[in-house]
Amino acid sequence: MRKLLFLVLFTSSIHAISQIDANALLVLPRATTADINSISTITIQEGALIFDTDKKKVFEFNGTEWKELLTPPSVFPKTGNYTLTENDNGNILTFDSITDITLTIPNGLPIGYNISIYQIGNGKITISGAGGVTIKNRLLRFKTAGLDAGAGIVSTSTNVFHVTGDLKRN
């Protein structure tokens, strides 16, 4: 009886999957990169989506420009003191310095802001907050521990950032 019940359930689930209507799937408008760039931004609504047939990627219009969705993080090398910007969100910063440096987190970055940092030189990175920014770490560690140390920085609420990783106390 169990085998018969399994066979009936298995057969009906395969039948249900095969009944998906291909015409019911969401298909985005498609265009080449050149065609997308030639669209007048005056007529585009913020949030519009399009599939770029040259790049094989989906783009969203943010009100002023087309931004690629689901972009992988980029790596940006730094050699001295640095203040984070909104454009750094989702990316990786490497710091190559022979002397210690300071990474400043300004206020006003969005909730969910997320960045990874890595110390690739001998200079340690001290993470500090500008006025109104709170930085939290369970063990009160806010400086990279040494060569090849890495850390993650995430905004968990307005102007509050959690720092985790290979860190030590000042």
Average pLDDT for 44-58? 91
At 61-78, the pLDDT tens digits run 988 888 888 878 999 999
The answer to whether residue 19 scores a pLDDT higher than 80 is no
pLDDT tens digits for 75-125? 999 999 999 999 999 999 999 999 999 999 999 999 999 999 999 999 999
The candidate with the shortest Cα–Cα distance to 151, out of 126, 170, 123, 131, is: 126
More confident residue, 79 or 20: 79
User: Which percentage of the chain shows pLDDT scores above 70?
Assistant: 89
Nearest Cα residue to 138 out of 170, 167, 106? 167
Closest CA to 126 of 151, 145, 105, 101: 101
Q: Can you spell out the DSSP letters for 55-117? A: TTEEEEE-SSSEEESSPPP-EEEE-S-EE--GGGTT-EEEE--SS-EEEEE-TTPPTT-EEEE
Q: What is the pTM of this model?
A: 0.66
Domains and CATH numbers, the chain: 25-71 (2.10.10.30), 75-168 (2.60.120.640)
